[in-house]
Structure 1
Amino acid sequence: MEIEQAATDAEATSLSVSDQPEEKWISLRFVHSGKEYTVDLADSDRVFDLKAALDKLTTVPPERQKIIGLVKGKLPPDQATIRELNLANGKKFTLIGTPQGHEYKDPATLDLPDVFNDLDIDFSADPNSEAVRKFKNDSRNKRKIREAVAALNVNLMNPLREGKRLLVLDLDYTILDTKPLTSGALPPSECARPGLHEFLEAVYPYYDICVWSQTSWIWLETKLSELGMVGADKEYKIAFVLDKKPMFTVFSKRDGQDFTHQVKALKIIWTLFPQYSEHNTIHIDDLGRNFALNPNEGLKIAPFRDAHTLRASQDRELESLAIYLTHIATFPSFTAFRHNEWKRVVGRLQLP
């Protein structure tokens, strides 16, 4: 499949308005440092999106923003929708805050806090929950997917193969202990999860492989090269990779508290490459919150950390996972499987 044609067809499909819920838009005007700006927002957008838009226009980061005159009293939390603010079209307000400087920051330190985080919600544990239903029906989330599809330019590293399933594989702390790699504490080969290349070689006959990492493109490319997953003579090929750009922020509840996090929406891939769907796609990640929009396709793997320890060297997670993936690949559809029970399935398969 030619990527240009796939993207064109997908965009035409995904951006059609006939099956999309109608959203109301308003235009707001604000002044910062004597300059007037205009920002357009949908009523399904959140206060978080307003702050992000102000940051994009003025480079004043959200934590420095002081918004005056938009609402009476204190600005609602990030999770609140623009609809809830009951704003009139053309509403004026003032933004006060110092723009972000352009000083150099180590990209490794910028990437790590997002991916090395113990705060998690495993959406695959209850894929039919009310929270999941709301996520899927949320107009903002649907629009964010359409916007990601329109903005995304996927470069195929290797051709997609007819009839293959799709494995979407996370990188940091799923197949790699990131911290010692980026710090230089350990050589790349000792940071990889045990059995990484054997795992990829075992599943490659059944799956096209996509690596989707919540990191910047330059560091994603560097990590894959250092691990020998690209540019090396292996019995598997990576079809394409995605970085953090197609991800977007969603709003959950964790232990009754508001929880803001990013998500990997498989619909983005399915729109660009319609040969893949919920019937033949599985997403492996150590963070269950990344499954928020596709909990049925998510399989949460135990995180791989402390690569220098004896415990880590004895890790056999990928060996078991290869058994599970090759097993389900023999079925016409993945929809009958509950991937959070994958270890039970492997246990039964290993019985004499």
Structure 2
Amino acid sequence: MVLEAAGCSASTSQESGEELTLVVKWVGKDYTVRVCGDDTVGELKRRICEVTNVLPKRQKLLNVKKGSKPADDSMLLSGLGLKPAIKISMIGTVEDEIFVDTVDAPEVLDDFELGEEDTTDIKDKDINKAKIQRRVQQYKLKLLNPCRPGKKLLVLDIDYTLFDHRSTAENPLELMRPYLHEFLTAAYAAYDIIIWSATSMKWVEVKMKELGVLGNASYKITALLDHLAMITVQSESRGVFDCKPLGLIWGKLPEFYGPNNTIMLDDLKRNFVMNPQNGLVIRPFKKAHMNRGTDQELVYLAEYLLAIGDLDDLSGLDHKNWEKYSEQNKRQRHQ
């Protein structure tokens, strides 16, 4: 299936802050895709996915090139010399069905450390703040259950956080992190819960249903977020990568959540580079068959979440020391 996109804008995408509007023609209909020069090719693919449902990994953009070679997903559009009137041809197919197994599940790269100066530079850049505002305007957040006034917010990753997505099993429940439902039940007393995965929404929904998370009688999930809610940022030391900006949620639901009452659990530290104060790096859950008998990470994290759940403001906490805080709180309760 071939898609053609005709671009139009007041200026070229060579100016990184300028918006490039693409009129996308696909199966007889016109769609509008808006990107900026400071976005990457990967971001362009996400925007196309939003309107066509063709996953980025299934897209091949034939004439988006760097010189004579196809442009890599990490390349900035501003460096490709795209003109306002360019027509982009894409070969791609919508996946009508999804098979959630080790072949279809997305790969997760190893995490990397960012220096403090690098992190500060990324989160304070006006370019990245503008990207979040665009995402707030563009992303369609669907609430599965109402936000509860007075509750804090817990944002959870899936792969290697709640589920070992790379091991094989006859039943997905064999790859679920131990104590998952007990953890979510305990957390729900003080927190609304949002699941955010760097994968497609179809995969998120299928996986959460398979694990019995959606429709559970003991707790409720407020919303599901997918890869389209992420933004691309650039650092001096690590180049271009994707992250999960909590500012999207705060911008969508400002009357309920903000920096003072939100905590995110993710096995990749880089995912909360825009909100380092709100992130807690969870130990990755891998090799489920070997480790599910001993892994108690969610048990201890539930204790920590409940220990800080009564605080009026979470912004002063250093989540790097969560285990020490939890242990001190436990000793105080028994004195």
TM-score per shorter chain, which class?
0.7 to 0.9
Please say if residues 47 and 77 of structure 1, whose CA atoms lie closer than 8 Å, have aligned partners that are also in contact: yes
Listed as ranges, the gaps of 5+ residues in structure 2 are: 1-15, 23-32, 53-57
| Structure-2 separation of matches of 1:224 and 1:245 | 18
Q: Identify if the C-alpha distance between structure 1 residues 65 and 100 changes in structure 2 by more than 3 Å, giving closer, same or farther.
A: farther
Which of the numbers 289, 293, 300 marks the counterpart of 1:313? 293
Mapped to 2, the partners of 1:252 and 1:332 lie a distance apart of 33
Give percent identity, aligned residues only.
35
Quickly say closer, same or farther: Cα 1:157–1:284, change in 2 above 3 A: same
State the shift of 1:300 in Å.
Answer: 0.5
CA displacement 1:303-327 (0-9 Å, x = unmatched): 1111111x33211101110111111
**Pairing 1:1-352 to 2, within 5 Å after superposition:** 23-24=17-18, 42=36, 44-45=38-39, 61=60, 65-68=64-67, 78=74, 82=78, 99-100=91-92, 108=100, 112-114=105-107, 116-118=108-110, 120-122=111-113, 129-180=116-167, 185-234=169-218, 236-252=219-235, 256-258=237-239, 260-274=240-254, 275-309=256-290, 311-351=291-331
Specify the SS of the correspondent of 1:112.
coil
- Asked if the contact 1:52/1:62 (under 8 Å) is kept, the reply is no
Q: What's the TM-score, normalizing by structure 2?
A: 0.74
What per-residue deviation string (whole Å, max 9, x for no partner) do you get for residues 170-192 of structure 1?
A: 11110111234xx5x24233221
Distance 1:111 1:252, change over 3 A: farther
Query: 1:27–1:90: 8 Å Cα contact kept in structure 2?
Result: no
Task: Give 1:67 shift.
Answer: 4.4
Residues 167 and 283, structure 1, Cα contact 8 Å, conserved in 2: yes
**CA distance in 1: counterparts of 2:158 and 2:46, whole angstroms:** 27
Structure 2 counterpart of 1:300, one-letter code = V
Deviations 1:15-45 (A, max 9, x none): xxxxxxx9445799xxxxxxxxxx9864544
Distance 1:216 1:308, change over 3 A: same
User: 2: CA distance between counterparts of 1:207 and 1:187?
Assistant: 29
Shift of 1:49: 5.8
| Distance in 1, Cα, partners of 2:48 & 2:310 | 50
CA shift, 1:250, in A, is 2.0
What SS does structure 2 have at the residue aligned with 1:313?
coil
Shift in alpha-carbon separation, 1:111–1:279, aligned structure 2, 3 A: farther
Q: Distance in 1 between matches of 2:289 and 2:83?
A: 58
Verify the 8 A CA contact 2:192 2:222 in the aligned structure 1.
yes
SS in structure 2 of the partner of residue 347 of structure 1: helix
- For residues 60 and 314 of structure 1, what CA distance do their matches in structure 2 show? 41
Paired with 1:54 and 1:322, the residues of 2 have a C-alpha distance of 39
Distance 1:295 1:190, change over 3 A: same
CA 1:314–1:66 in 2, change beyond 3 Å: closer, same or farther? Answer: same
> Which of the two has greater helix per residue?
1
Residue 53 of structure 1 deviates from its aligned partner by 8.4
Check 1:200–1:50 CA distance in 2 against 1; reply closer, same or farther (3 A cut).
Answer: closer
1:233: how far off? 2.5
Deviation digits for residues 127-174 of structure 1 (CA, Å, limit 9, x no counterpart): xx2222222233332232122222222222222111000000111110
**Structure 1: distance between partners of 2:152 and 2:59:** 44
Higher relative contact order (CA 8 A, sep 6+): 1
Aligned residues: 302
1:18 matched residue in structure 2: none
Task: Give, in angstroms, the shift of residue 246 of structure 1.
Answer: 0.9
Moved more, 342-351 or 269-278: 342-351
Q: Secondary structure at the match of 2:280?
A: strand
> Which residue is 1:5 aligned to?
none
Shift of 1:212: 0.9
Query: What are the ranges of 5 or more consecutive residues in structure 1 without an aligned counterpart?
Result: 1-21, 29-38
Q: 1:238 to 1:92 in 2, by over 3 A?
A: closer
